[in-house]
Amino acid sequence: MKKKFSVKWKASKQPRKQRKYRHNASLHIRRKMMSVNLSKELRKKYGMRNFPAVKDDLVKVLIGEFKDKTGKVSIVNLKKLKITIDGIYRTKKDGTKIPVKFDPSKLQIKELNLEDKKRKETLERKNIISNKEQTTKDQKLIINKNKSNK
């Protein structure tokens, strides 16, 4: 197996190759791996299913010990591909509190942090693209119906 990271790699059934891909991925690809599911309201509003998590996004935990708890994202760790949330801690035996690290697939974004201009622009751009795709699909359906009626 190659040691160098391949950007053209699509997929493999072998878990070892999947782990190797995630481990050797560069930061711009890791950022995409940190995408979190959007809530139904945000999906309708922006026309997309998921979006990379950023500090201060309001997030809900979907699975595990802390299910249904919400909080703001405090740390997005690209190195370990984990997210920590304010207010969710695990207590050690000596009484110290440690923030719990979550996998992005176990979370859902309830509210987006739109302070960053670039983030706003990408949401608008992607929303415009998805709206155009939807309208072209609708137009094709109308054209097909008209042809079948003739």
Mean pLDDT by 10 residues, the chain (150 residues): 70 89 89 94 90 94 95 95 96 96 96 91 80 68 68
User: Which residue, 8, 15, 58, 50, is CA-closest to 29?
Assistant: 8
Please tell me the distance from the alpha carbon of residue 74 to that of residue 72, in angstroms, as a whole number.
6
Structure tokens given for 98 = 């440690």
pLDDT, residue 10, reads: 76
Q: Is residue 146 part of a domain?
A: yes
Same domain for 106 and 119, yes or no, is no
How many domains, in total, are found in the chain? 2
User: Which residue, 48, 102, 36, 49, is CA-closest to 75?
Assistant: 102
pLDDT, residue 150, reads: 60
Residues belonging to the chain: 150
Structural domain range at position 149: 114-150
